[in-house]
């Protein structure tokens, strides 16, 4: 292992401001601190680990990052915290107990009280610790008082407690919140703890403003869910000046009220302020809008709160009840609080701590603190008062690095993200190749529209179920609700494989880093309405396109080396992605320091002789060249999707010009089709329910939150907010009902949004049936090619008609099917055929035109529901299907009952039947792809021309050369792929 020095940490900001005030004692000569830049130059030593052998078969050796040794004043005598929890006689964490949480250059020996507050000079615990507010009380009080324990566990309402006195001293609620979690956003916003060094009073570097930026970010406010839900409800914006912004999608609500001190820019989605999400159901509160014992919320009157288009009147009982449902079901999915924090895989803290100091999966402390109970919670599947969960280790994590002590520390891992980002199985679990089956339909034999030939749950998957712990659940679900392997067509391949980046060893943070989460500059710290308005990462950032390699800019890498770094879509340098000798790109994982080669799309498409340096195989792939290349006859741009009939392809055409990469490369989607939410009034003195907004006891309870169907096989194409073709998924396909204080259950409601879309059938060219909500969402299931054990990407047959497919199915038979769907002749549908051609046909192995019809958004007929949200089909024999009051759908099949058609999201005219809440980010740019839509300024289903091209057998595009679902050349494609 060789050491050498670099000019690595030169800072041009005022150097004395870089050192936290806690490290500069009064009277210390400021002139010493002016020497910091020189000392940095002398001490910026980095390990050259090129001779270190790679572990675990990774692609090359780890890059070991050694921070320069600290240059700060010697540690003073130990505070009482240090003596008690670490055992050292100095403030240096040299004892055998609690670890140093911040062993990083310039602030290696931060005092405990600098982060946690309290009195480090006190000799007794009762005086050193910040006492609990009376609303929380001692352990026995938390056993007796569920409200106290809820707030102690989740931290939800602590900031709302009044000041209190103990031992002659006055404390604020934030004093206590800082003591138990210095990283809470409500604390750091006040420039305490993390906010003292990472707040606007500290530095002028990007990291200096993380505290204030995070508090108004989508992950800090949850405004995408809160405001998206009320948009889908159709009620007016709570902020008048936002009402008509961005196609009426501007955000208005948040966990806590926030404001941007600067005027919003012209960025789509930017708003000046957000209001705190309202709470109407506080136990004991009476008044005009309060739910407690209020007949205003009678179930029989709720239908009067609907407008004619099925949007909801503002300030109505129905609107307020739905607010409560959203807050109860989804209201803790943010960094403002610690979430539910009550079960295996779901333990976490709030704010900075939630990501940078992960809790143990089972909640049990693995820290060295001798004062912490290492055996709580006793049952990791269900914590009980007064237990509290604990950190895995008392160490802040960000990117992988080697500490000055020589210890290698991994970066933020996927488990940190998994507790929150797995609802409906669209991110972390999908990235790992695990599908959520909330209803356990596979285990119970009721998977719809078809059962797989084989499947395997996760009972033996130690990522979720640790035999050393013996947990029975992960995030509240059992092994039968997490599916590891499923094969619907019997070819032996997993139809729900993991993402290739996961297989390669990359973690979430390798794509989603500091700039995407915290912000990179003041312009990126705005309050934005939707997630994609914040995200700046895309496939092209690392892999480039077919015409050019990934863009780069001069930078300094994490290990302090000057380099050419890849650039995200907002101009921020990715310090772990570099262009090296020639045109080779490498990624040094933020997760574990491993070095990965990044194939460039251009080299995949153009046969330029590039060899993968680790695999020693050509990067060029003829199938990729055919699918992604430009059909212009030039070998310099790849093969392109040429056809035997030259009139079928436009000269110079490439799919990559108009398509998002995931449209083809996302192998499967976590489709949740139909979601039943039910609330009930409950003021029983023995039952306790709590607001996820204020922490107060409430009388609204979630009676049910159930999916109708979850299936990985069907998918549709749509247009994303970047005006690119992408995959689109069911989003808020929600049905709501409420049981009032008299025990009377309401009818089932489904809503239209602020633009009258979703459930407004038969108006302005919309179809006969509502389709509810659909949004483009990136599936984290990227595949590069089909493999013997795993399905691959979406090949040509997944989206296109072919002459071979039409010949096999029958062109007239397909015309008849299209006509039956268009004109609602549902009696003509052959459900057994649909089951086989869609449910048992992942990737369209059968080359079926029925599959393509579904993909275009015109519907399959398989996902029709009645007025109560119960499926209408003859295939589903599950007598307990939600929400079917008369038994199995198959036993009560009646096509006259159809009210909703959830995969018929658009008409052939381009008029959408579905709702969408994502505005175009660059309106007016690029070729319009939603022609015919009533709101083309929104993301949504395909437009009329694309629908025609994909699905019309007479006037559309019917391929005579294609790649099938097994990655085989068909028709005349062989001569193009293999060359003449």
Contact, 178 vs 191, CB < 8 A? no
> Cα separation of 871 and 892, whole Å?
10
Whether 412 and 509 have beta carbons less than 8 Å apart is answered as yes
Element (H, E) at 646: none
> What average pLDDT is seen over the chain?
90
Q: How far, in Å, CA of 670 to CA of 893, rounded? A: 26
Neighbour count for residue 815 (Cβ, 10 Å)? 15
Residue 691 CA: distances (Å) to CA of 283, 328, 695, 743: 10, 7, 5, 22
Give the pLDDT band of residue 235 (cuts 50, 70, 90): very high
The answer to whether residues 159 and 186 touch, using CB atoms and an 8 Å cutoff, is: yes
pLDDT at 523: 61
Q: Are strands 958-959 and 801-802 parallel, antiparallel or unpaired?
A: parallel
CB-hemisphere CA count at 13 Å for 957?
24
Q: Is the pLDDT of residue 1 over 80?
A: no
- pLDDT of 239: 97
pLDDT score, position 43:
32
pLDDT tens digits, 261-280 = 887 788 999 999 999 999 99
pLDDT digits (tens, 9 = 90+) for 767-825: 999 999 999 989 999 999 999 999 999 999 999 999 999 999 999 999 999 999 999 99
- Per-residue confidence (pLDDT) for residue 14, from 0 to 100: 27
Return the higher-pLDDT residue of 41 and 723. Answer: 723
Q: Give the containing element (helix H, strand E) for 69.
A: none
Dist CA 919 CA 911 (whole Å): 16
Model confidence at 515, pLDDT cuts 50, 70, 90, reads confident
Whether the CB-CB separation of 906 and 942 falls below 8 Å is answered with: yes
Query: Are the C-beta atoms of 431 and 437 separated by less than 8 Å?
Result: no
Give just the sign of the alpha carbon dihedral 652, 653, 656, 658.
positive
pLDDT at 261: 84
pLDDT at 457 over 50: yes
Confidence of residue 202 (pLDDT cuts 50, 70, 90): low
What average pLDDT score do residues 527-533 get? 93
CB 761: neighbour CB atoms within 10 A?
18
> What percent of the chain lies above the pLDDT cut of 90?
84
- For the record, the structure tokens of 443 come out as 């285990």
Strands 689-690 vs 270-271: parallel, antiparallel or unpaired = unpaired
Is-contact 481 440, C-beta < 8 A?
yes
pLDDT score for 205: 55
Task: Give the integer Cα–Cα distance in Å for 125 and 116.
Answer: 14
Say what the pLDDT of residue 200 is. Answer: 63
- DSSP-derived pairing of the beta strands 940-941 and 801-802: unpaired
65-97 pLDDT, tens digit per residue, is 444 444 567 889 999 999 999 999 999 999 999
Contact between 511 and 539 under an 8 Å Cβ cutoff? The reply is no
What does the pLDDT average to over 52-63? 36
- The pLDDT score that the predictor gives to residue 46 is 33
The predicted-structure confidence for 613-667, as pLDDT tens digits, reads as follows 999 999 999 999 999 999 999 999 999 999 999 999 999 999 999 999 999 999 9
* 760 vs 746: CA distance, rounded Å: 20
What is the model's pLDDT at position 849? 99
Report the C-alpha gap between 626 and 613 in whole angstroms: 24
* Section 133-154 average pLDDT: 98
Tell me the CA end-to-end span of the chain in Å, nearest whole number: 53
Of 353, 535, 572, 525, the residue nearest 427 (C-alpha): 535
Tokens standing for residue 733: 């396909």
What's the burial of 45, exposed, middle or buried (CB within 10 Å: 0-12/13-18/19+)? middle
Distances (CA, A) of 264 to 200, 260, 747, 845: 19, 7, 42, 49
Q: What residues contact residue 503 under an 8 Å CB cut-off, 6+ apart?
A: none
User: Is residue 277 within 8 Å of 301, Cβ to Cβ?
Assistant: no
Give the Cα separation of 636 and 141 in Å (integer). 74
* Nearest to 773, CA basis, from 692, 662, 674: 674
> CA-to-CA distance for 453 and 492, rounded, in angstroms?
9
**For 821-838, what is the mean pLDDT?**
98
Q: CA-to-CA distance for 28 and 73, rounded, in angstroms?
A: 9
Which residue, 479, 352, 359, is CA-closest to 418? 359
* pLDDT exceeds 50 at position 524: yes
Higher pLDDT, 198 or 865: 865
Give the position of tokens 């009032």. Answer: 740
| Tens-digit pLDDT profile for residues 366-375 | 999 999 999 9
Question: Rounded distance, CA 291 to CA 308, Å?
Answer: 25
Among residues 422, 456, 454, 451, which one has the least CA distance to residue 438?
A: 422
Determine what percent of the chain falls in helix, strand and coil, rounding each to the nearest 5: 25, 15, 55
Ramachandran assignment for 979, one of left (phi > 0), alpha (psi -120 to 50 degrees), beta (any other): left
Asked if 901 contacts 913 with a C-beta cutoff of 8 angstroms, the reply is yes
Tell me the C-alpha distance between 895 and 158, whole Å.
Answer: 53
pLDDT at 897 over 80: yes
**Distance between CA atoms of residues 873 and 889, nearest Å:** 6
Name which residue leads in pLDDT, 687 or 30: 687
Q: Give the whole-angstrom CA distance, residue 501 versus residue 414.
A: 12
Give the other-Cβ count within 10 Å of 384's Cβ: 12
CB 19 within 8 A of CB 39: no
Query: Measured between alpha carbons, how far is 524 from 513 in angstroms, rounded to an integer?
Result: 14
Torsion region of 372: left, alpha or beta (phi above 0 gives left; psi -120 to 50 gives alpha): beta
CB 336 within 8 A of CB 256: yes
Percent over 70 (pLDDT), the chain: 91
> What is the chain's Cα-based Rg?
29
CA distance 852 to 798: 7
Residue 178 — left, alpha, or beta (φ > 0 → left; ψ -120 to 50 → alpha)? alpha
729, β-bridge pairs: 775
In this predicted model, what pLDDT tens digit does every residue of 925-948 receive, in sequence order? 889 999 999 999 999 999 999 999
DSSP for 808-820 reads HH-HHHHHHHHHH
Task: State pLDDT tens for residues 712-769.
Answer: 999 999 999 999 999 999 987 899 999 999 999 999 999 999 999 999 999 999 999 9
**Alpha-carbon span 917 to 919, nearest angstrom:** 7
Instruction: Taking residues 296-315, report their average pLDDT.
Output: 98
Residue 859 zone, left/alpha/beta (φ > 0; ψ -120 to 50; rest):
left
pLDDT of residue 767: 98
Task: State yes or no: pLDDT of 399 exceeds 90.
Answer: yes
- Cα(524)–Cα(521) distance, integer angstroms: 5
> In this structure, how many other beta carbons lie within 10 angstroms of the beta carbon of residue 125?
12
The rounded distance, in Å, linking the Cα atoms of 175 and 182 is 9
Could you check whether the bond before residue 377 is cis, i.e. omega within 30 degrees of 0?
A: yes
pLDDT at 490 over 50: yes
DSSP category for residue 631: B
**Residue 908: band (very low, low, confident or very high) from pLDDT cuts 50, 70, 90:** very high
């Amino acid at each position: 292992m060789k050491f050498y020095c670099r000019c690595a940490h030169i800072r041009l900001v005022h150097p004395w401001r870089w050192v936290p005030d806690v490290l500069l004692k009064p009277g210390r000569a400021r002139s010493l601190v002016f020497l910091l830049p020189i000392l940095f130059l002398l001490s910026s030593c980095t390990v050259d680990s090129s001779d270190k052998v790679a572990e675990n078969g990774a692609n090359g050796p780890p890059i070991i990052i050694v921070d320069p040794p600290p240059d700060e004043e010697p540690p003073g005598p130990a505070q009482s915290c240090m003596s008690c929890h670490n055992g050292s006689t100095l403030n240096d964490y040299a004892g055998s107990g609690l670890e140093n949480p911040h062993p990083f250059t310039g602030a290696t020996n931060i005092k405990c009280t600098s982060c946690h507050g309290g009195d480090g000079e006190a000799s007794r615990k009762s005086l050193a610790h910040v006492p609990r507010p009376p609303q929380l009380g001692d352990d026995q009080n938390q056993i007796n008082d569920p409200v106290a324990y809820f707030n102690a566990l989740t931290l939800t309402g602590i900031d709302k407690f009044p000041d209190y006195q103990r031992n002659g001293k006055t404390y604020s609620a934030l004093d206590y919140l800082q003591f138990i979690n210095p990283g809470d956003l409500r604390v750091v916003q006040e420039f305490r703890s993390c906010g003292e060094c990472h707040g606007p009073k500290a530095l002028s570097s990007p990291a200096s403003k993380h505290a204030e930026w995070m508090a108004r970010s989508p992950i800090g406010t949850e405004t995408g869910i809160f405001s998206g839900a009320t948009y889908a409800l159709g009620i007016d914006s709570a902020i008048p000046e936002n009402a008509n912004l961005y196609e009426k999608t501007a955000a208005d609500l948040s966990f806590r009220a926030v404001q941007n001190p600067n005027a919003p820019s012209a960025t789509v989605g930017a708003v000046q302020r957000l209001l705190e999400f309202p709470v109407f159901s506080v136990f004991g509160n009476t008044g005009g809008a309060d739910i407690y014992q209020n007949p205003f919320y009678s179930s029989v009157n709720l239908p009067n709160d609907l407008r004619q288009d099925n949007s909801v009147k503002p300030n109505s009982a129905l609107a307020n009840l739905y607010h409560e449902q959203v807050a109860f079901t989804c209201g803790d999915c943010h960094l403002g609080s610690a979430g539910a924090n009550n079960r295996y895989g779901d333990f976490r803290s709030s704010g900075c701590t939630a990501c940078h100091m992960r809790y143990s999966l089972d909640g049990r402390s693995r820290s060295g603190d001798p004062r912490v109970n290492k055996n709580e919670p006793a049952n990791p599947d269900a914590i009980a008062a007064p237990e509290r969960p604990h950190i895995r280790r008392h160490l802040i994590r960000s990117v992988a690095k080697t500490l000055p002590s020589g210890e290698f520390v991994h970066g933020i891992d996927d488990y940190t993200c998994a507790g929150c980002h797995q609802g409906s199985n669209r991110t972390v679990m999908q990235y790992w190749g695990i599908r959520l089956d909330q209803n356990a339909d596979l285990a119970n034999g009721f998977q719809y529209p078809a059962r797989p030939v084989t499947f395997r749950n996760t009972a033996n998957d130690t990522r979720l179920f640790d035999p050393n712990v013996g947990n029975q659940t992960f995030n509240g679900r059992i092994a039968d609700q997490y599916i590891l392997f499923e094969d619907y067509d019997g070819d032996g391949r997993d139809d729900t494989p993991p993402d290739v980046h996961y297989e390669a060893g990359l973690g979430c943070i390798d794509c989603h880093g500091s700039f995407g989460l915290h912000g990179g500059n003041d312009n990126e710290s705005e309050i934005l309405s939707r997630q994609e308005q914040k995200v700046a990462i895309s496939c092209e950032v690392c892999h480039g396109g077919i015409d050019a390699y990934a863009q780069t800019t001069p930078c300094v890498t994490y290990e302090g080396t000057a380099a050419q770094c890849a650039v995200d879509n907002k101009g921020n340098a990715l310090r772990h992605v570099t262009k090296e000798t020639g045109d080779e790109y490498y990624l040094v994982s933020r997760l574990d320091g491993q070095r990965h080669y990044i194939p460039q799309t251009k080299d995949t498409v153009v046969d330029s002789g590039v060899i993968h340096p680790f695999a020693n195989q050509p990067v060029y792939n003829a199938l990729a060249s055919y699918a992604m290349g430009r059909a212009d006859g030039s070998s310099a741009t790849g093969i392109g999707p040429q056809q035997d009939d030259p009139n079928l392809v436009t000269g110079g055409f490439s799919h990559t010009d108009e398509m998002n990469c995931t449209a083809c490369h996302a192998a499967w989607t976590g489709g949740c089709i139909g979601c039943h939410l039910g609330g009930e009034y409950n003021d029983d003195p023995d039952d306790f329910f709590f607001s996820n907004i204020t922490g107060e006891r409430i009388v609204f309870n979630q009676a049910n939150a159930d999916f109708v169907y979850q299936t990985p096989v069907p998918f549709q194409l749509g247009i994303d907010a970047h005006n690119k073709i992408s995959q689109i998924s069911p989003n808020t396909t929600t049905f709501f009902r409420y049981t009032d204080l008299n025990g009377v259950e309401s009818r089932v409601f489904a809503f239209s949004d602020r633009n009258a879309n979703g459930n407004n059938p038969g108006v302005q060219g919309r179809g006969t049936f509502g389709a509810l909500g659909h949004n483009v969402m990136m599936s984290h299931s990227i595949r590069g090619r089909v493999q013997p054990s795993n399905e691959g990407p979406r090949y040509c047959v997944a989206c296109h008609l072919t002459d071979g497919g039409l010949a096999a199915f029958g062109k007239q038979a397909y015309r008849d099917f299209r006509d039956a769907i268009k004109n609602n002749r549902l009696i003509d549908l052959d459900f057994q055929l649909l089951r086989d051609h869609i449910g048992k046909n992942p990737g369209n192995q059968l080359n079926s035109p029925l599959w393509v019809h579904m993909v275009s958004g015109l519907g399959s007929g398989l996902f029709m529901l009645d007025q109560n949200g119960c499926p209408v089909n003859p295939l589903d024999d599950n007598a307990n299907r939600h929400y079917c009051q008369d038994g199995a759908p198959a036993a009560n099949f009646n096509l006259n009952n159809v009210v909703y058609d959830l995969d018929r999201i658009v008409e052939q005219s381009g008029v959408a039947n579905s709702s969408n809440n994502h505005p175009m980010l660059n309106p007016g740019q690029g070729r319009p792809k939603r022609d015919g839509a009533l709101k083309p300024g929104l993301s949504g289903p395909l437009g009329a021309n694309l629908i025609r091209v994909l699905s019309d057998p007479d006037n559309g595009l019917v391929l005579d050369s294609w790649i099938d679902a097994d990655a085989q050349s068909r028709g005349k494609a062989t001569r193009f792929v293999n060359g003449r």
